[in-house]
Each structure stands twice: as C-alpha cells, then as structure tokens.
Homo-oligomer: A and B are copies of this chain.
Amino acid sequence: MTELAERLSDILGPKGWIPAADARPWTRDWLDRYGAPPLGVARPAATAEVSAVLAAAHAAGVPVVPQGGNTGLCGGAVLGAPGGVILSLARMAARGEPDAASGSIEVEAGLVLQALHEALDGSGLMFPMHLGAEGSAQIGGLIGTNAGGSHAFRFGMMQDLVLGLEVVLADGTVWNGLRAVQKDNAGYQLRRLFCGSEGTLGVVTRAVLKLHPAPRQRATALLVLPDAAATVAFGTRLRAEAGDVLTGLEFFSEIGLELALRHIPALSYPLGTRGGCYLLVEVASASDCMPLEDILSATLEWGMGEGLVLDGTIAASQAQRAAFWRLREEQPEGQRLEGAQLKHDVAVPPGRIAEFLRAAGALCERLLPGVRVNPFGHLADGNVHYNLSPPEGAADFDGRAGEIGLAVARLATGMGGSFAAEHGLGQAKAGLADTLRSPEERRLMRALRRALDPGETLNPWALAPADGG
C-alpha cells in the first residue's frame, strides 16, 4: 500500500476507500474501451472528505478522475494510466426539498437523475433533463459532461439548468457558488465553465438546479415521413407552430427501425405504412387550457397535405405513448445487437440535417461500400447520432473506422456544427479536437486548464491533455 493509499484510507474509513484489489467495477468505462487499474476508489460522504482527498492526491502529485454513474461514451470518467485515484460521488446523493415558488432544488452530485425525477413526482415540478442513461447517470456527471438529451432544444443543456454549484478545486479548495438565481453577473460565469469541463477543472459536489412546472397534459405522435428532407421541412414548421409546448422531436430511420424490430422481440410497430424516416413528436403543458391535440392534429394535417408526412397516429393511452418512445429509445440497443458498430455524436444546424445526411452517406459509401448508416437523434437541435453497422454479412469495418470517423467529424465541423455534440471529448475525442479545432482554441483550453489546475492532476487524460491527446 502506497503512502497516499494509506492516507486516503485514513481519511475515508473502510466504507469510503476501496483498495485496488476490489476496484474492478470502477475501472473500465461501460463500453469497455478505456480505463486502467487505479490505486483505489475514493467514495467520500461529504464535501470536506472530497476536499481532503483532492488535497492529499494533489500533494502527492497523483491524478484523480471523478466518476458519476460511469455511463459516458468517451472514456472521460476512468483512468488513462494505472495508479491514479477514482473519485466516486455515489455516496453523496442527498437532496433538499424542491422550492416551488422559486423553481429550484439543491442536490448532491451523486444523486441519480431518475431518483431526482421520482422525488419530484407529484410536486408539480419537473427537472427537464431526459436521456437514455437516466437510471444510472448522476447529477455530477451530467454537469461534468454538460449533458443534453431529448429535451435540450426546449429547456437547454445541463449548463442551462444549473443555477449554482459547489466545486472542490484541484488542491482541495472548496468554491461555494451555491446561488439560486438565474441572473448573477457578478463576474465570470464560473457555473457555466464547470459544466462540460469533464472533471478537469474541479469536482462538482453540490448543485442548485432549475425546475420547471410539471406537465399536466401531454400528446405524443408517431409519424412516417418519406425522407430526411421532408423531416427537416416538417420539423421547421412544427417548431414554429408548436414550439411553445414542444417537448420532444426525435427522429430515426427505416434501417434503425428494422434493426430494432429484428433484435428486440417485445417491440411492435403500430402503423401500416413504412417510410424513409420516422418522427416522434411530443407536446406537453402544465396548463389544462392548452389545446395540445388540436395543435398536433393541425400540423399533422398540414404535413400530409404538403406530402411531407405519409402517415401518423397520436397515442391514445399512456401505454401507447410509452410504446412510441420505446421505438426511439431502443435504437442504440437494436444496433448493438446487430454486431459491430461505430457511434458518432455530431451536431449540424438543424435546417441542414438532410444535407448532412446526404453528404455523410456518400462519404461513408465511398470509404466502405455497403456500410449501413443508421442516423437517429434530436431533430430540433441538429444533434445526429450518426451510427454505422458494417455491410450486411461483414463482421467489422475493415479497418476504416478511424477514417470514417474523421470524415464524418470533418463534415459536421465544416457545416458550422460539432463533432462532439452532447457526449463530450473524454479520452476518445481529445485527439480529434486537436485535429479539427484551431490551434488557438486548443491553446485557450490548455491555458484555462493550467490556470485552475497547474499540476494537471485532475483527469489529465481528458478534454485537452498536456501531451496534445
């Protein structure tokens, strides 16, 4: 046992320090692509313990990587080399009472997103962040990665939902920024800077989150559309006509539907028509006065009249609503069960999604003829999960994965978009950022990092590593 391990074990006690031998469950990211054996796993129960852990590791010059629910897709919450400390916030999962009059709640970083949703049930309030991993993802990790998800186009990303933060800095200093107001211009927007910093600037321990009135009514439709161009045109109209109450605008494609239906027997498709593209549309309101179904039907009729929508249906029950959502949510799983896959998380200006899909499809076909493109995602903010399966019958991507990834990323970037829309950089894309973003931008990020963590002991492998990725 090293001196640091001994010290951390003293600070945290047996419940708070998992030695290397038992650290397996925390070691690898959940896609099992990244991670090295740690010195141990620190599981502090309070901010003061987080501070003591960071101070001790800092003094010893040993890297620390904060880990939430470990649901990230870019290897940002595991070690890049053996011997560092994994800092798990799971034991800090307390929450305060929601403040209905002010629309906020204070929570600890280890609180699981779904637990927050459940705690708010019946309070008349909601926290409008929804994503596939919400059963495991923790608030601290969502902040560290600036999570987006399906409601971000309407309610914002994590950084838009954070009013205040408590953060422990690299040397153990605690910054108390637990304010509870939207408007706070007393200096730099530190709360925003920590969102998406992937544990490289500090460790989030508590947050004051913004809450919204919970919907009292909802309408959900599943639509079939001929192609991506029609989908974009219809989406633009819908954002104008129903933007005030629109809470979901998710798209997926024929190939994705096929894969999901093939591999997930419990799934069923409720319509007689098939098309090139599918839209899941949801409108919701906290007011009983909103004529949600009227708004949805009117836009649907318009779309059919224009030939943009081939078929569609509005969910008649809560069970049907859940079934519609499942068609969208099982897209990743359907593809995973098909075998090898390549995931890309890009964003382009929403009006250019069809153009992007056309150009990206041609690029991929050129690099690997027959490759199966399965794009799905969030239409209203242009966030496309541009995922690929190998050509029918092939086991892998014939060594072209890197080339394809770079080509897709470059295309999105060239269209004013991003190659890392909502999943972040982590270890997986730091190098891509060095390639695709300007040297000025990378230097800026390195300067910020060094300003807050001169010793670079906080998650040194992620985002903008010293060795340039």
Contact = CB atoms under 8 A, between A and B. Distances in A.
A181 B289 contact: no
A47 interface: no
Interface in A415-459: 416-425, 429, 433, 436-438, 440-442, 444-445, 447-448, 450-452
Interface stretch (A6-14, A101-109, A260-268): A101-109
Interface in A381-398: 381-383
A185 B424 contact: yes
Contacts of A148: 183, 185
B189 A159 contact: yes
A316 interface: no
Interface stretch (A31-39, A53-61, A191-199, A400-408): A191-199
A160 B183 CA distance: 12
A182 B347 contact: yes
A187 B285 contact: no
A363 interface: no
Interface in A5-63: none
Contacts of A232: 101
B156 A433 contact: no
A176 B174 CA distance: 33
A433 B192 CA distance: 19
Contact of A102 (B101, B103, B185, B349): B349
A425 B157 contact: no
Given A145-B185, A351-B100, A422-B185, A164 B451 contact: no
A184 interface: yes
Complex copy number for this chain: 2
B185 A423 contact: yes
A244 B287 CA distance: 8
Interface in A222-241: 232-233, 236, 239-241
A367 interface: no
Contact of A438 (B152, B176, B290): B176
B195 A417 contact: no
A408 to B, nearest CB: 14
Interface stretch (A114-122, A248-256, A291-299): A291-299
B349 A104 contact: yes
Interface centre among A152, A176, A187, A240 (most CB of B within 10 A): A187
B285 A289 contact: no
Given A244-B290, A291-B289, A184 B451 contact: no
B291 A463 contact: no
A124 interface: yes
Nearest to A125: B240
B243 A182 contact: no
A335 interface: no
16 contacts: A99-B351, A101-B352, A102-B352, A124-B240, A164-B416, A169-B440, A176-B441, A184-B347, A185-B423, A187-B420, A188-B444, A189-B192, A189-B193, A190-B444, A242-B287, A244-B245
Given A169-B440, A181-B347, A184-B417, 11 more contacts: A124-B240, A153-B182, A181-B349, A182-B347, A185-B422, A186-B418, A186-B437, A187-B442, A187-B463, A213-B240, A244-B285
